[in-house]
Amino acid sequence: VADSYHQRIQVFTPHGGFIAQWGSLGGAIGQFWFPYGVAVDAAGQIYVADTYNHRIQKFGQLPTAARSTSWGRLKNLYR
């Protein structure tokens, strides 16, 4: 779940039990500025649309999201 106003991602079981969370306000890997969309691929990789950082972040499988990658950062082109 993208918890946009708290700059974090939360993960729950299908029955609503809490599993994990990560993120904070900022522009570094693992930080967000209004995360909005979350997707998971067939391999369990997690993709987060980081709205105001203008990028997509990719994280490894749960229970640890240790591996991360970022694409985007278009806002620097428009300043």
Q: pLDDT digit string (tens) for 13-31?
A: 999 999 889 999 999 989 9
Residue scoring higher pLDDT (6 or 76)? 6
Q: What is the mean pLDDT of the chain?
A: 85
Given this model, what pLDDT does residue 64 score? Answer: 57
Given this model, what pLDDT does residue 78 score? Answer: 45
Residues of the chain above pLDDT 70, percent = 78
Instruction: Give CA–CA dist 45/36, Å, rounded.
Output: 17
Given this model, what pLDDT does residue 38 score? Answer: 95
SS3 labels along the chain: CEEHHHCEEEEECCCCCEEEEECCECCCCCCECCEEEEEECCCCCEEEEEHHHCEEEEECCCCCCCCEEEEECHHHHHC
Which tokens is 41 given?
């691929």
Total length of the chain = 79
pTM (two decimals) = 0.80
